[in-house]
Structure 1
Amino acid sequence: MDTSKHNLATLFAQLGLDNSPDQITQFINKHRIADDMLLAEAPFWNEGQRHFIEESLREDADWCELIDELDAMLR
């Protein structure tokens, strides 16, 4: 069980994305989603990323708060 404190950088690492501050900013600036689209349905995720997001939200995992934060940042 992962008991480390999660932050946006660790979420990006978990998603297999570059998690440097500059790359996180670039990702957020490049990727936008419509207000009526679920985050997991965004076209830029691969299957593994989509599954991680869906499963984390469904299971109310420790990642949920950060996933919600990323969701808000992409709108």
Structure 2
Amino acid sequence: MEHPDHPFTELFEQLGLASDPASIKRFIDRHAPIPDEVALPDAPCWNEGQAEFLREAIEEDADWAEVVDHLNASLRKN
């Protein structure tokens, strides 16, 4: 099955966050780095709904999984 390709900005919209490039950069700069021992959905920057969405995307290998992996990598960088 082919998965739709969701842009990074669309993930931020799905999470209810500002999705313009400057806002995305500010969010990542503010919340990175997430420690390696903390799963992305367990990071303190998410509300309950956002964390659940991220958890489901990862666990179910949903069509959002690839862009969620990109978010995870972005938030792990120093």
Runs of 4+, deviation exceeding 6 Å: none
Question: 1:17-38: per-residue Cα shift (whole Å, max 9, x none)?
Answer: 0000100000010002101110
Unpaired runs of at least 5, structure 2: none
Question: 1:34-74: per-residue Cα shift (whole Å, max 9, x none)?
Answer: 01110000001000000000111111101101101110111
Q: Tell me the percent identity.
A: 48
Aligned length: 73
2:16 matches 1:12: no
* 1:4 Cα deviation from its structure 2 partner: 5.7
- Normalised by the length of structure 1, the TM-score is 0.91
Unpaired runs of at least 5, structure 1: none
Aligned ranges 1:53-68 → 2 under 5 Å: 53-68=54-69
- Normalised by the length of structure 2, the TM-score is 0.88
Give the RMSD, CA atoms, in angstroms: 1.3
2:18 matches 1:40: no
8 Å contact kept, 2:5–2:63: no
Aligned AA for 2:65? C
